[in-house]
């Protein structure tokens, strides 16, 4: 099975991936696969602009977990979306050296459910599992991921509402 772990930057994908690996589960960091599909480097945002459609088209089916902000563009069997309350997300992104503009963009995307909406667009409800990492440590997040992966926890998403934080971040 290919299980995607997606989420806005700062939601805890890499932290969860490290723990999964420690427990012996294969995890592919999708950042390491986009190199050939980088169209340009955007100096203003400090991010690479990736041809996501071409990357997803060329991506070989991979057994295990695949982790990254683009995971929901892949034909995963199941997809986990990590979430984080936008004000806490800002605090998590602050030490990364991102510009204020980039932090604002990410907090705004999280408040507006951008990744959830994109995911719901291309997956069936039974494939989607959303986890709020705001006040849940990575060990518990990983337990939830494994439980969903094994089919022990049913799909679940759509219960979070960050709309009251939109005015904070826009």
Residues 6+ apart with CB under 8 A from 10: 84, 89, 92, 93, 96, 106
User: Taking CB under 6 A as the criterion, which residues in 35-64 touch ligand ADP?
Assistant: none
- Should residue 21 be labelled a site residue for ligand ADP when binding is judged by CB under 6 A? no
User: Taking CB under 6 A as the criterion, which residues in 130-169 touch ligand ADP?
Assistant: 133, 136-138, 141
Q: What are phi and psi of 85, to 5 degrees?
A: -55, 130
- Should residue 62 be labelled a site residue for Mg ion when binding is judged by CB under 5 A? no
* Binding site, annotated residues: 10, 12-14, 96
- Should residue 14 be labelled a site residue for Mg ion when binding is judged by CB under 5 A? yes
SS (H, E, C) 43-95: CCCCEEEECHHHHHHHCCCCCEEEECCCHHHCCCCEEEEEECCHHHHHHHHHH
Pick from 4, 7, 28, 148: which binds ligand ADP (CB under 6 A)? 7
Residues of the shown chain interacting with ligand ADP in the complex, contacts defined by CB under 6 A: 7, 9-15, 92, 133, 136-138, 141
């Amino acid at each position: 099975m290919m299980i995607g772990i997606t989420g806005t930057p700062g939601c805890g994908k890499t932290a969860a991936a490290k723990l999964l690996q420690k427990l012996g589960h294969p995890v592919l960091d999708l950042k390491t696969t986009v190199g050939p599909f980088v169209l340009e480097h955007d100096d203003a945002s400090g991010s690479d602009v990736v041809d996501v459609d071409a990357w997803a088209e060329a991506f070989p089916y991979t057994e295990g977990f695949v982790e990254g902000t683009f995971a929901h563009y892949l034909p995963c069997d199941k997809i986990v979306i990590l979430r984080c309350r936008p004000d806490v997300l800002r605090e998590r992104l602050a030490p990364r050296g991102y510009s204020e503009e980039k932090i604002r963009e990410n907090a705004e995307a999280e408040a507006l459910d951008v990744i959830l909406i994109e995911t719901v667009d291309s997956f069936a409800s039974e494939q989607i599992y959303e986890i709020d990492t705001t006040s849940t440590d990575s060990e518990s997040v990983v337990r939830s991921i494994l439980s969903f992966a094994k089919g022990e926890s049913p799909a679940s998403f759509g219960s979070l509402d960050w709309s009251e934080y939109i005015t904070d971040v826009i």
